[in-house]
Structure 1
Amino acid sequence: MVFESPPRAMVVVMGVAGCGKSSLALAWAAQRAWPFIEGDALHSAAARARMAAGRALDERHRGPWLRRLARAMADVPGPVVATASLLRRRHRALLRAALPGVAFVHLQLPQAVATARCAARLGHFFPAALVASQFTSLEPTDDEPDVLALDAQAPLATLLHCMALRWP
């Protein structure tokens, strides 16, 4: 599956639960007047229920979700920012193959901070108990040139500034 379109900015803010993906992507979308796609909203009801019950997703759930995300991003005619965990290289590779030119912002933070942030979220389906499994699944992005790695504990204004340097 490859979606052909003219060159345009496509950015996915990625990382473990609680790193601030949605906060950063929403702020970027507002600042740049870009459409925003919340990756969590594209999970199936079964996948959301599975996570809410404290069970991590497996590839049977992730594959269709990633295809829905790629399709949603491809359907946007101009620049777009989205969120997705994309913890494994193969998941990032799937989006690269489907969306030539896509780039990633990897929000990095310590496991204890991510766990505390998830525990403090009210009404979110993802329980803090699953954060450890995300860190187990997380594969480094250090050698991926299309990934901008940022400290998720930096102020939002700093993160936005770093993104603006990459995508003026």
Structure 2
Amino acid sequence: ILGKYQDLNAELDEGDSLSRFFGLMKNFNNGVDINKELRERIEEYFDYRWEKDLNQAINDEEEYEILMQLPNDVQDGIYNKFLFGNFLKVFDDTFRIPFIDKETGIPIDNKFYDWENSTYREFMMKLLCSLEPRYERRDDFIYYQLQDVIEVIFVEQGSVDVGFEVSFQ
């Protein structure tokens, strides 16, 4: 019951923040509201983000510190199985990192890093803690040609077309 109450309050707080944001934008725009289409896109974006953000439970420093006090196997269970189990299954090949023979520099057959390895575990925990959901509409451009790419994007739903122009044609 307490969890449901906290979830409801969090949703109300987020909605209040978004309403205040729209009010602030109206004030800065001499009393003129943001156009309806832009407002709908912003609301759609935040609705999706609030629904899909698996890291909501640790979105502030205090909550993160509580998580870090838990035993490693409990943290691993929370992230590896409970919160991000489906994500890790979908992108299994991406996170399957082979051991490299130190002498030859060649990957060792059928030997991969896993959550038992402290370096791999630390990397995966940082990666999973930093994932953020993002919603893009059909026909949106995520990046334009020659634009700096500043993030890694994992597409879980839908499809992405990749293309480029030659001589800007």
Give the TM-score of the pair, scaled to structure 1.
0.24
Query: Whose helix fraction is larger, Structure 1's or Structure 2's?
Result: 2
Give the TM-score of the pair, scaled to structure 2.
0.24
Query: Whose strand fraction is larger, Structure 1's or Structure 2's?
Result: 1
Q: Which has the higher contact order (CA 8 A, sep 6+)?
A: 1
Asked which structure has the greater CA Rg, the reply is: 2
